[in-house]
Amino acid sequence: MKRKNPIIIPRPEHTLSRSMLSPNAVQALYRLKKQGFTAYLVGGCVRDLMLGREPKDFDLVTDATPGQVKRLFRNCRLVGRRFRLAHLHFEDEIIEVATFRAPEPDESAEVESLPSTATTADHGVSKPARPPRHLKSDEGVVLRDNIFGTPAQDALRRDFTVNAMYYDIGDFSLIDYCEGLDDLKRGVIRTIGPPAERFTEDPVRMLRAVRFAAMLGFIIEDATWSALVELSATITRGAPPRLYDEFLKLFLCGEGEKCYQLLRGSGLLKALLPGFNDWLERESEGFPHTRTSASLDWVDSRIQEGGKVAPQLLLALMFGEYLEEQGKGFRQSGTPLQQSLDMAVAGLLGELAGSVLIPYKVGMQLREILSSQHRFRKTAGKRPLSFISRPSFIESMDYFRFISATTGEGIESLRWWERFVMENPLPPESKMEKEQDTMTPGIPAKRSRRRRRPKKGLPQQSP
């Protein structure tokens, strides 16, 4: 795909209006224009507005360099190494501003081969060489991509055609270099350029293809899907923290169950979660594992109704049955209940550490949700007020609510706890979050020690 001349859709021929945009994005666009720069709205926000969906964020692209953007906006922060970006911080949102990018330069090999230091003409003093603006790993993954270019070059460097349309605030037209509007009308997810090449450059694009297809109700174009299946095993080349972020986006987009089925069908789930995938393909006591799918349906319903699901609750719902079976296996060898659950959770976190890196805090909250489930069966028991004051109580109760609805067990206990919570309101959420942030599970909070002043008349010891 090497279209040089874009398709220009004038304002009367499309439905996108300036009134639909974030006022902060409009303000930023006009300021860039006023200073003589080219600036467009781009990406998912244009796609969503054309589909009648509400965008989650607004991204801009310009010919101003990140440094120029920073000098122009006092509220600007530069972020990223792989892609240098400008974030404009407003009171209620962050507007992301990128610079038009170009393909890999012909002289990249020479740039990449520069030594780590370079000798200057100033008396032979060695200074660190400038880092390469474009860099690839041995596998072809783009590690750095800061070669600036034109709008046409930038459009052809993007991932999917439906994400590459520009909106020009100057004349309110749509600019389409990649036939994205046509794919948008047909409901197709298609890479810009050879799909194998684009997925090799950035394996995380495979997860994005799945998410967009599920979230928008689109189909993945045949060549794009074939390349995705063929390269699914390479998804682990993505950075584990980034894969965790994409993991959350997949299952918290409101169409997580569809994402789950596409991940299984493509081989991506097997590559990301091999042990969990093997367990899914086996039956337990003659029954297939269907609770994961049911739990994602529950998550989707809550999100579609405007609710939120915390990452630790999502993980507990997805992996709960798997971890319960793992823990049961440890108990059969004589391991105590709590220790067996701790071992199961530790095993899962260890398995995922090389691919989807779950933060330690979230992992401990996952453990707390699962380990507290037996407490709900005791209704009053000892110190129920202390139990409902735990930082993860709300998520633990949501998990118990799902299990009760799925299995029909513990319904009377659930009703008792619901009444008890109504009669004994929980502490403010902000207070609970503060306690959660300042305490590590199993380790008591340290008290600050007051530093004593030396007594008068006595010499102070030297450090």
User: What was the pLDDT predicted at 428?
Assistant: 60
**What's residue 377's pLDDT?**
85
User: What pLDDT, on the 0 to 100 scale, is given for residue 145?
Assistant: 53
Q: In the numeric block, which tokens belong to residue 460?
A: 């102070």
Q: Which residues are catalytic?
A: 57, 59, 159
User: Nearest to residue 78, comparing CAs of 90, 65, 91?
Assistant: 65
Q: Rg of the Cα trace of the chain? A: 27
| Cα distances (angstroms) measured from residue 444 to each of 436, 439, 440 | 12, 7, 7
Structure tokens at 122: 């100033």
Alpha-helical runs (H) found in 305-359:
311-332, 337-352
Tokens 């530093």, located at residue: 451
Write out the H or E segment, with its range, that includes residue 108: helix 108-112
Q: Which residues of the chain have pLDDT under 50?
A: 106-130, 132, 135-136, 140, 142-144, 430-450, 455-463
Q: Which three-class secondary structure state does DSSP give residue 270?
A: helix
> Any idea what the Cα angle at residue 106 is, between residues 103 and 110, rounded to 5°?
120
Give the DSSP letter of residue 162: G
Segment holding 190, helix H or strand E? none
Which ranges constitute the DSSP H helices of 333-428?
Answer: 337-352, 360-371, 373-376, 384-388, 393-407, 411-423
